[in-house]
Copies of this chain bind each other. A is one copy, B any other.
Amino acid sequence: MAVQVGIVGASGYGGAELVRLLSAHPEFDVAVVAAHGQAGTPVADLYPNLVDFGSFDGVNVDALADLDLVFLATPHGPAAELGSALFDANVRTIDLSAAFRLDADRFSQWYGEEHSRPDLLATDDSVHGAAVYGITEFARSAVASATLVANPGCYVITALLGLVPVASLFEPASLVVDGKSGTSGAGRAAKDALHFSHVDSNLTAYGAPGHRHTGELERYLGHLGDYHQPVTFIPHLVPMARGLLITATATLRDDIDGDAVQQALVDAYRDAPFVHVLEPGRFPSTKAVAGSNGCQVSAVVDPRTQRVIVTSVTDNLGKGAAGGAVQNANVLFGLPETTGLTAIGIYP
């Protein structure tokens, strides 16, 4: 019998993308499509592509606890509550919010509140806690045995896939991360700053230097990449709906050249079906992975400055959110990592 799956927060972009992906998944059955405050609303009212999904369910913890797997795609507040309750009920859960990504200190530092369940979080000196930080490529075995998976943020997973294999080659305190995202990364809420008339033909930075995802980025660059200094992170809003590009620069240690960088990337992703390392001089483009779970990474060295330029792309709703979550779900249930994720990026 197929795995019974629930999606909470399906009125948001991440949740709706989960509905889209899982509806074509051969092993998972979408049993619950829930959204706070939208119970009874036809799904197609909000998502005209989802014409066969009836109406949203309400959020009922007991009903969720009867399922085999729950995806949480709500803001971090409700996710913390639901994730804790489902963990206590021993229900496998993948949370797409920031609720369980940090240790308790970093959580209070970057989110301005105390975490309600620090016992589920990692400590400062451990990668994972009860909640496993789920970049599949760096955590296959931990995910396989997890009950609660904290799915990474879209900026952070895209940056880490480019940087983790090479960050130990950087000079200290030399890393700058320039992030560029399409609008779907900012969510569905109708805001002045997301009005088509304002975003179209427009480009701007925002939220620097204190964007919340900086804490997550620094924490895992340390644990996974052995790079332990603060990072300057500058997000930008780009006039496109989907897609995320990271352009990171760092000074390489004197003894490191482009070949060493390239080799480290190629070695890291030899067995990773979704990460494609381009040859130096080719640059990843967001459209190559649109609608897919793919990630493309490239590195090129500037010999005049001994700096490396690492660029990486994902679909922020794909590998950067719902796709990466399904990949984790596959690992969690012992399925091939690519199950239900074989769609190729839509180009043009």
The reply on A92 being an interface residue by CB < 8 A is: no
A 179-213 contacts with B by CB, 8 A: 180, 182-184, 188, 190-192, 194-206, 208-210
The reply on A83 being an interface residue by CB < 8 A is: no
Contacts of A292 in B (CB 8 A): 49
Give 1 or 0 for each of A283-303: 1 = CB within 8 Å of chain B CB.
Answer: 111111111101010001110
Contacts of A242 in B (CB 8 A): 201, 346, 348
Closest B-chain residue to A240, C-beta based? B201
Instruction: Indicate if the CB atoms of B309 and A232 lie closer than 8 Å.
Output: yes
Interface residue tally for chain A (C-beta within 8 Å): 82
- Give the CA-CA distance A230 to B302 in the complex, in Å: 10
- Give the CA-CA distance A206 to B311 in the complex, in Å: 10
User: Which of B176, B204, B243, B284 is close to A286, meaning CB atoms less than 8 Å apart?
Assistant: B204
- Give the CA-CA distance A287 to B238 in the complex, in Å: 12
The reply on A38 being an interface residue by CB < 8 A is: no
Residue from A183, A230, A347 whose CB has the most chain B CB atoms within 10 Å:
A347
Give 1 or 0 for each of A152-177: 1 = CB within 8 Å of chain B CB.
Answer: 00000000000000000000010010
CB pairs A–B below 8 angstroms (27 shown): A13-B197, A20-B344, A24-B342, A48-B296, A49-B345, A49-B346, A178-B247, A183-B196, A188-B197, A194-B195, A195-B348, A196-B241, A197-B348, A198-B347, A200-B200, A200-B239, A201-B290, A203-B285, A203-B286, A204-B286, A208-B309, A209-B307, A210-B302, A230-B305, A236-B245, A238-B239, A241-B348
